[in-house]
Structure 1
């Protein structure tokens, strides 16, 4: 009986350790989730891939515009290439494949993460407008 309980505890321990490992969504996984959101015509899924940032507005509108332009094409990924042209916290993910009609497609998904963040995120939205005027400078 104890042996059976011990064997049942091993998967639970593994899952706990994996969850605590700090590994989040990779650059490639983020790009594939982006493609899945396009295929599902799901702007909420795109917003979920964005970094929640105070002072940033318009994420929902940006997601809706992306879905309206590129959504629902039945994209099938055949190749993913990740590059880090601007350092370790910014990546370009070049995704290639075919759409439901068999036509080839290529898309670049730019992703980033800040500091110790586990998940790579996409950029959506823009800074909120304020009534503040820029400080004057003297020449």
Structure 2
């Protein structure tokens, strides 16, 4: 589990350092709107059990690792007929990085909540939902084994 947490943190750090200020020149309401659209796309991908769509929303390369993780995410959360009841976007780490909190109702009537990091790269908003990403070359791992 420690490796997965490190990989998630490493991915977030890479995305944070790769997000220059030039893309974040629009006002925060426009940025929040873009991040909200990414959350809506995520819900669409879950509802339709669409791995391709989920990979695009996650902003990760379409490789075997992403396919395996997308299949697992869809098995765990997909096909529930989610209806969004609330999305809260906070650009608390700059104009291109923040957090999203999703509240949705399932077809069964159950309320579900989820939270994500949202990042904008090259003008497109993505959710950090894929955690099984390789550690960048030259970076040490936190493994104690």
Pick the TM interval, shorter chain. 0.5 to 0.7
Provide structure 1 residue ranges, at least 5 long, that are not aligned to the other structure: 1-21, 135-139
Using structure 2 for the length normalisation, give the TM-score.
Answer: 0.63
In the alignment, does 2:73 pair up with 1:66? yes
Following superposition, the deviation at residue 52 of structure 1 comes to 4.6
Following superposition, the deviation at residue 122 of structure 1 comes to 2.5
Runs of 4+ in 1 over 3 A off after TM superposition: 22-25
Q: Based on CA coordinates, which of the two structures has the bigger radius of gyration?
A: 1
Distance, in Å, in 1 between the alignment partners of 2:42 and 2:105 is 15
RMSD across aligned positions (CA) = 3.1
In structure 2, the residue matched to 1:27 is 35
In structure 2, the residue matched to 1:44 is 52
Aligned counterparts, 1:51-130, within 5 A: 51-52=59-60, 58-114=65-121, 117-123=122-128, 124=130, 125-127=132-134
Question: Larger RCO: Structure 1 or Structure 2 (Cα < 8 Å, ≥ 6 residues apart)?
Answer: 2
Distance 1:84 1:100, change over 3 A: same
Distance, in Å, in 2 between the alignment partners of 1:133 and 1:97 is 38
